[in-house]
Each structure stands twice: as C-alpha cells, then as structure tokens.
Amino acid sequence: MVGPSRAELARRGEELAARHLERLGYRRVARNERTRWGELDLIVCDARTLVFVEVKTRRAPCPLPLEGVGPAKQAQVRALARAWLAAPGPRPVRDRLRFDAVGVVLDRAGELVRLDHVEGAF
C-alpha cells in the first residue's frame, strides 16, 4: 500500500494542526495564504493575539519535524507575515503578534502519531 503523497501529507498535517488550534480557542483567519515570496501555512487569532503558524509534517518514524523550522525558515515566515500584514484587505487587529510552530508526525496511512505545538517558537 502506498502512503499519501508529499502534498497530501502536508495538507493532512495542516488540517490536524488547524483543528488542534481551533480546539484551543483560536479562529482560523487563513490557510495556505500565498504571497509572491512563499506561503504561510496557517494564520489564526484569539481575542488578543494574531498567530502565524508554521506547520511541518513528516512520516513516522521521524525524529523531530520541528527541526525543519530553522533560522532560514523563521526569517522567511517573518517576511511573509510582514507582506501579508501590509497587503490590502481586511486583517484582524490584535494587541499581540506571535509565531508558533506545529510539528505533525503521521503513520503510513496518514493517521496522527504525534503533534507538538510550540507557542512563540520564534
């Protein structure tokens, strides 16, 4: 049996991350928001905080998917967030801004093995 493709794996991980954040009380603002420099995985908010979320999904056995959120990826996500905030259109206004990371590990069938959420990861 062939497991999910890389794109399907990423979509599944982002959906599981979004559900996790919604269970924590966050409202989804955008998913896979594209700018000319790349894509923001998830943007969520609660009453006080706008959160840009980088999601890394890997197949088991994988040591730590969050190792993929190194300095270069952090800089890219910050630049994408700046571009998104500066773009025309409605944006939620919040007192705080935060960058989180969510690591998702899926088995060969695409089922959740592990989900790690780091608030204020960078």
Residue 85: phi, psi to the nearest 5? Answer: -65, -30
Q: What is the pTM of this model?
A: 0.92
For the chain, what are the domain ranges? Answer: 6-118
pLDDT per residue as tens digits for the range 35-84: 888 999 999 999 999 999 999 999 998 778 999 899 999 999 999 999 99
In our burial notation (b when 16+ CB lie closer than 10 A, e otherwise), range 19-30 reads ebbeeeebeebe
pLDDT band at residue 1 using 50, 70 and 90 as cut-offs: very low
CATH topology of domain 6-118: Trna Endonuclease; Chain: A, domain 1 (3.40.1350)
* Mean pLDDT, rounded, of the chain: 93
| Cβ proximity of 98 and 50 under 8 Å | yes
E runs forming strands in 11-111: 27-35, 38-45, 49-59, 96-106
